[in-house]
A = this chain, B = another copy of it.
Amino acid sequence: MNALSHPSASGTLSEQLDLKSLGHELYAIVQDLYPLCRSITGEGLRDTLRAVDRVAGVEIHEVPSGTRAFDWTVPKEWNIKAAYIADVQGRKIIDFKNSNLHVVGYSTPIRKRVARAELLQHVYTHPGNPDWIPYRNSYYKETWGFCVTQKQLAALTDAEYDVCIDSTLADGSLSYGETLLPGATQREVLISTHACHPSLCNDNLSGIAVAALLARQLRTVRTRYSYRFLFIPCTIGPIAWLSANQPATSRIDHGLVLACLGDAGGMTYLRSRRATAEIDRAVQHVLGHSGQAHEIRPFSPYGYDQRQYCSPGFNLAMGCLMRTPNGEYPEYHTSADNLDKVRPEFLADSFAKILATLCILEDNRHYVSAVQHGEPHLGRRGLYDKAQEFGLFWLLNYSDGQHSLLDIAEISGVAFNKLAAGVRMLQAVDLLDEATPSLAHVNTSER
């Protein structure tokens, strides 16, 4: 029984994982959310958060347009009903109904006949992939535009077209979903995923699906840490949240930004700005012991929302976990990042690795051997045969109060979960004690 399991549960949380059915559940969420036209504000985003709420239970927060957040201002809310480019005979050549990527995000409303030359200044394609529609938006500069395939562009040969974007850009609010799952202490782990991309699967429905089921799973068990989940529009979302919750950030001990978790590539982890935080070491341990190709990279202020959480004024111990990173797979930010790009088995594999990481955070404590001088006599306690597999002599030798379980895992090369099992064996024969309660603030408000 590890820390991420209810005292009355029979097995460990990770042993209970049925990766196959979990993969299908994750993929079903991606399928369900795929058609919605998300943006950093608006009804598509709200519908997404409502769906997440049904799975994981989140509260939907609204931040009014115009709210100041550090160097930023929450923008107007954008909604869209329909959009098309039609020939003068009224035949729709490009229709938002076919793909919500066809419209540049945050396009201002327009309904007029335009000359071909003018139209082409508002039409974007994906160079090199003539069949793909690119994904574009213009949050902070008011304009309108269409994204089309190269083939569609080539077909726009008429002199004039009727363009229509039936959108609104008006004061409203920015929405995000949040839930806090209280643990034994008030120290927090923050899981954040952006939720603002339209019909794009790997970036970032994969992150939404994985985070949603993680929250659902964690809700069923007792934990040492409290877990906070954010489903939030990128950049402005975390900036607004951080601005409104600045004092609360001091409770965040560890965190992960999740994105691009469903493709076939190996895992990629961007370390926190602190570089050697416990979360960094925990992820590195899980990936290192996975036996699978993976990559550990230093922190970068480019990419996903670690940019905000790791800004110098916060410098939270948060890394970014992905499979293939943003911009490094050809389908990135195009219509080809579709339901074929992500697979149930990769979603489930990502989920399992994150859960294993959280298990390390939960179980990583300092212990003290009852016998500090010489090794204890394991033979007379019936444990000698288990010493090798569970790293018992590593645990006994390095449990001097100075080395955490993760330290010992790194020193010994023994897998953390084997050592954690070894701890329980040694505790059962009174050879190991927890050094001191690791977390100062105990949570009195139990779930």
Q: Contact residues of A with B, CB < 8 Å?
A: 69-72, 140-141, 235, 238-239, 242-243, 246, 273, 298, 301-302, 307-308, 310-314, 369, 371-377, 379-380, 387-388, 393-394, 396-400, 411
Contact = CB atoms under 8 A, between A and B. Distances in A.
A72 B308 contact: no
A112 B371 CA distance: 42
A378 to B, nearest CB: 9
Task: Decide if the interface of chain A is mainly helix, strand, loop or mixed.
Answer: loop
Contacts of A373: 70, 242-243, 246, 311, 313-314
A302 B376 CA distance: 13
A353 to B, nearest CB: 27
Contacts of A380: 140
A72 to B, nearest CB: 5
A140 B379 contact: yes
A375 B301 contact: yes
Contacts of A273: 397
Contacts of A313: 372-374
A413 B7 CA distance: 49
A375 B243 CA distance: 12
Nearest to A397: B301
A212 to B, nearest CB: 25
A398 to B, nearest CB: 7
Contacts of A393: 301-302, 307
B307 A375 contact: yes
A404 to B, nearest CB: 14
Contacts of A238: 374
Contacts of A302: 387-388, 393
A72 B141 CA distance: 73
B311 A397 contact: yes
Nearest to A379: B140
A302 B307 CA distance: 44
B246 A70 contact: no
A307 B273 CA distance: 38
B311 A242 contact: no
22 contacts: A70-B371, A71-B374, A71-B375, A71-B376, A71-B377, A239-B374, A243-B374, A273-B397, A298-B411, A301-B375, A301-B397, A302-B387, A310-B397, A311-B371, A311-B374, A312-B369, A312-B372, A312-B397, A312-B398, A312-B400, A313-B374, A314-B374
B246 A311 contact: no
Contact of A379 (B141, B298, B369, B399): B141
A311 B372 contact: yes
Contacts of A311: 371-375, 397
A374 B308 contact: yes
A374 B70 contact: yes
Contacts of A394: 301
A246 to B, nearest CB: 7
Contacts of A314: 373-374
Contacts of A375: 71, 235, 239, 301, 307-308, 311
A160 B8 CA distance: 54
A308 B398 CA distance: 13
Contact of A72 (B243, B374, B388): B374
Q: Which 6 A-B pairs have the closest CB atoms?
A: A313-B372, A313-B373, A312-B400, A301-B397, A301-B393, A239-B374
A70 B377 CA distance: 9
A235 B375 CA distance: 9
A70 B372 CA distance: 9
